[in-house]
Structure 1
Amino acid sequence: MLESRIQKWILIDCHTALQLLAMTSLLHHCEDDRTKQSSQNRLPQP
């Protein structure tokens, strides 16, 4: 009984960790896009 409960918690933890990883990687990707855009905007226009 207790073991199955622990296994469920571990599964939930893994799922949450994966979600957090996905979210953070998405955030970093968005930040990269922003920095690329801002650096392009900084270039003097012809």
Structure 2
Amino acid sequence: MQEKKSNSDFWYYLVVGSGNVNQGLARIMGAILAIIVCLGTLFWSIWPV
């Protein structure tokens, strides 16, 4: 049974995983791009014209 990780460690391993450094950086950039696209689409859809 493994010890409880903190919340930031949980999100770090969820995004980065246990791969090498380049794969982790690519997944972080992909996650940031996905957040930007989702927020942009949300604001674009509800913004009054």
Report the TM-score, using the length of structure 1 for normalisation.
0.60
- Whose helix proportion is higher, 1 or 2? 1
Larger RCO, structure (CA 8 Å, separation 6 or more):
2
Write the distance in 2 (CA, Å) between the matches of 1:27 and 1:3.
36
Write the distance in 2 (CA, Å) between the matches of 1:28 and 1:6.
33
Structure 1 segments, 4+ long, off by >6 Å, are: none
- Cα deviation, 1:5-44, whole Å, max 9, x if unaligned, reads 00000000000000000000001111xx34xxxxxxxxxx
* Map of 1:27 onto structure 2: 44
Q: Percent sequence identity over matched residues? A: 6
Bigger Rg, which one: 1
Please, what is the CA RMSD of the aligned residues? 1.5
Report the TM-score, using the length of structure 2 for normalisation.
0.56
* Map of 2:28 onto structure 1: 11
Amino acid of the residue matched to residue 46 of structure 2?
H
